[in-house]
Amino acid sequence: MIIVEKHYRQLDAKDALIEALHSNLNHLEREPLFICIGTDRNILDCFGPLTGTMIKEKAPELQVYGSLERPLHGKNLRQKLNIIKNNHPSGIEIAIDASVGREEEQGIIKFRHGPLFPGKALGKRLPAVGEFSIIAMVGIKPEVRNWTSLGQGSITPVYHMARLLAAAIVEWNKYRLG
């Protein structure tokens, strides 16, 4: 279920994300765990690790897994999720990842109740992640399985979406902590 859906250029995008985080997470009284999925080796798939890095820089007290230095990707995701679940058995997972879709969806950030499915665009079968999920629509899904095109695109919107989401999470966290 989509809670909020905003284009990163919309003036109220950050406030809408902060409000969605506040209204959906604050009452849960469980430790938030931000699971930032992706790789630093692909421009369009670096949204998760870039966001994770930005959050860690501004709010080191938050539990953030996945950064440019320590990405969570298809090769290590299962193992890292087991470690996260063992270290934080009662934490609430908020999964963050890049996604592809239709051309008109590019630039949209979606905050949803429910998990995301990493690697789906590449046909990978990875575990579902998150009680909540935040995805950034970074590219257009190819009509045919031309996966090399998924790695091509501009980092500019990816950077701006990561910066916006990280700022919203950091600001929400300040309000949450009082």
Residue 148: what pLDDT?
53
Q: Which domain holds residue 37?
A: 2-177
Read off the pTM: 0.94
Residue 172: what pLDDT?
97
The number of folded domains in the chain is: 1
Q: How far is CA 134 from CA 6, 15, 52, 74, 112, in A?
A: 11, 15, 12, 18, 6
Residue 146: what pLDDT?
52
CB 4 within 8 A of CB 111: yes
Residue 151: what pLDDT?
55
Mean pLDDT in order along the chain per 10 residues (178 residues) = 97 98 91 96 93 98 97 94 96 96 94 92 84 95 59 86 98 90
Residue 119: what pLDDT?
80
- CATH number, domain containing residue 39: 3.40.50.1470
Residue 153: what pLDDT?
79
| Structural tokens at position 23 | 């209204």
